Amino acid sequence: MKKSPVSMTINGQPVEELVEPRTLLIHFLREQLNLTGAHIGCETSHCGACTIDLDGKSVKSCTIFTLQAEGAHIRTIEGMAAADGTLHALQEAFREKHGLQCGYCTPGMILRAWRLLQENPDPTDAEIRFGIAGNLCRCTGYQNIVAAIKHAAILMAGAQQKEAAE
Amino acid sequence: MISGSFAFYRPHTIAEAVAMLATHGDAARLVAGGHSLIPMMKLRMAMPDHLIDVGGIADLKGIKRDGSDWLIGALTTQAELIADQALAAGLPVLRETALQIADPQVRNCGTLGGNIANGDPGNDMPAVMLCLNARFEVTGPGGKRSIPARGFYHGAYVTSLAQDEIVTAVRIAALPPGSAAAYEKLKRKVGDYATAAAAVALGLQDGKINFCSIALTNLAPTPLWAEAAGQALIGRAPGAESFALAGRLAEEITDPSSDARGPAAYRTKMGGVMVRRALARAALAAKT
Ligand SMILES: Cc1cc2nc3c(=O)[nH]c(=O)nc-3n(C[C@H](O)[C@H](O)[C@H](O)COP(=O)(O)OP(=O)(O)OC[C@H]3O[C@@H](n4cnc5c(N)ncnc54)[C@H](O)[C@@H]3O)c2cc1C
Ligand code: FES
Ligand code: FES
């Protein structure tokens, strides 16, 4: 099938490429753009390892054709740390609280948690669990992921207060 | 898992999309949220040559009132149904049902129109539509028509929608005063389709049930409107005895398959339990 042009903004960078219409967004990110942070866990829309942020919403990039994302603003795990390598508060908190073991689910968990904290900066444990219900983890048993997200919420609120004071 | 090849289109108006469907006939499919269709395309259970993405059609969006009716655009996502405060106050059963569907990411993509047009007996919204006597507003090459939900579903993936028609909106009349609706779903885990689920609407007057409608999800090849079960409660007092009667009558019309969610007999029984629970909750809400 003839390739079609597609353009979008990924982690602040404009991207213009040609894709086959059947190219899934996760394959476009990983194979064409070499952004291999978002993972393919199931490819059946269940595990959430492929979660990215698309126009302000968490989505499973294995269940979207690239052409459906024409013009979109996308954020992936590659866009979380600062340019100088300083980890994002969520990444710091996942490390601090042992929110990962094998790390396979982590890019999706962090992107989902980031959007959750944008919408609800001070979530309860129950709200976190409901909010990450679309992200599976085979290792941690979720306890430490919930703890990491709570910790990140505190770090992020602190950073905001500091910014406001300055 | 990679789907078959197709040509991709992104129309901006309903008329354009209808014209594309008419041009390409059976080889064309609409895609809205894609969260039923894309999984099927990956499995090659669906192999359209022409994929028409309705995601860019502004006229399919929005939750409005038309008189006392609710008019909900087909492209409204499950997440948007959950977030809409007017809808949560006026017709909370839609929010309640949307919250039972899949997970946050899926709800950000999946649309009401896709959920009702899909025709999968596991979809949750169709039973709610049968229960509330909704109408589906549809546009085709010949113009517009309005199809009652009761009569729309003919078999698994077989509906009254013609190949070249688009569902543009769902119309639901406001519930009469003194009534309330509820949806109860039994599922094995987050993201699972129903083992059995029931949508009910119930009205009370002078301590007696004066209106009752019951519908079932995933207990037959189509969603089911349990008309007799609802009718049987008219004039009765709300309570365990009435609700058990409705549950038994609802069980009689089910025809579930035995699958990973359990044997048919179990799923039927759970259908009855969901009816009882939903009625009890609706009766409580109708009173207050
Ligand atoms: C992991 C997972 C779990 C899920 N769990 C549930 C669940 O528990 N309950 C549930 O109900 N659903 C569930 N779903 C399905 C989900 O709700 C779908 O999003 C929904 O069924 C279809 O909506 P869509 O917008 O994604 O439609 P699409 O996948 O885009 O389309 C589905 C079908 O409807 C047609 N269509 C779409 N829009 C229109 C329109 N406007 N007019 C005419 N035809 C149209 C398409 O051509 C296609 O045939 C789940 C999905 C996933 C991936
Ligand atoms: S890879 Fe997308 S949900 Fe599992
Ligand atoms: S850390 Fe291994 S899957 Fe989550």
Instruction: Say if residue A70 is in the same domain as residue A39.
Output: yes
Distance CA B80, CA B27 (A): 31
Q: In this structure, is residue A84 part of a structural domain?
A: no
Block residue for tokens 């689910």: A105
CATH code of the domain in which A106 resides: 1.10.150.120
Point out the residue among A64, A112, A133 whose CB comes nearest to the CB of B34: A64
Instruction: Say if residue A112 is in the same domain as residue A64.
Output: no
A127 and chain B in contact, CB less than 8 A: no
Query: What percent of the residues of chain B are helix, what percent strand, and what percent coil, each to the nearest 5?
Result: 35, 25, 35
Region A99-113: what's the mean pLDDT?
98
What is the extent of the structural domain holding A130?
Answer: 89-165
pLDDT reported for residue A158: 87
Instruction: Say if residue A62 is in the same domain as residue A94.
Output: no
Q: In this structure, is residue A108 part of a structural domain?
A: yes
Domain boundary among A23, A47, A79: A79
pLDDT above 80 (res A98): yes
Instruction: Provide the number of structural domains found in chain A.
Output: 2
Distance CA B83, CA B103 (A): 15
Domain boundary among A79, A103, A131: A79
Please check whether residue A144 is in contact with residue A99, taking contact to mean a CB–CB distance below 8 angstroms.
yes
Distance CA A83, CA A86 (A): 7
On average, the pLDDT of chain B sits at: 97
Ligand 2 centroid to residue A116 C-alpha, Å: 18
Using pLDDT thresholds of 50, 70 and 90, give the confidence band for residue A165: confident
Instruction: Say if residue A98 is in the same domain as residue A73.
Output: no
Instruction: Say if residue A98 is in the same domain as residue A159.
Output: yes
pLDDT above 80 (res A66): yes
Kindly report the protein residue whose alpha carbon is nearest to atom 2 of ligand 3: A102
pLDDT above 80 (res A163): no
Per-10-residue mean pLDDT of chain B, 288 residues long, equals 96 98 97 98 97 98 97 98 97 98 98 98 98 98 97 97 98 96 96 97 96 98 98 98 98 97 98 98 91
CA distances in angstroms from B97 to A102, B199, B200, listed in the order given = 35, 9, 12
pLDDT reported for residue B25: 95
Block residue for tokens 């990039």: A61
- Residue range B128-160, pLDDT digits in tens: 999 999 999 999 999 999 999 999 999 999 999
Residue in B2, B103, B190 to test binding to A, most A beta-carbons within 10 Å: B103
Kindly report the protein residue whose alpha carbon is nearest to atom 3 of ligand 3: A137
Distance CA B46, CA B196 (A): 26
Using pLDDT thresholds of 50, 70 and 90, give the confidence band for residue A159: confident
| ipTM for this model | 0.96
pLDDT reported for residue B198: 98
B12 and chain A in contact, CB less than 8 A: no
Contact A43/B109, CB-based, under 8 Å?
Answer: no
Distance CA A115, CA A109 (A): 10
Instruction: Say if residue A107 is in the same domain as residue A154.
Output: yes
Paired tokens of B246: 């409705």
Q: How many CB pairs under 8 A join A and B?
A: 80
Instruction: Say if residue A73 is in the same domain as residue A95.
Output: no
Q: Is the CB of B114 under 6 A from ligand 1?
A: yes
CATH code of the domain in which A67 resides: 3.10.20.30
CB atoms within 10 A of CB B190: 16
pLDDT reported for residue B278: 98
Domain boundary among A31, A47, A79: A79
pLDDT above 90 (res A161): no
Instruction: Say if residue A102 is in the same domain as residue A157.
Output: yes
Instruction: Say if residue A94 is in the same domain as residue A61.
Output: no
Which residues of chain A neighbour B189 with C-beta distances below 8 Å? none
d(CA B181, nearest CA chain A) in Å: 24
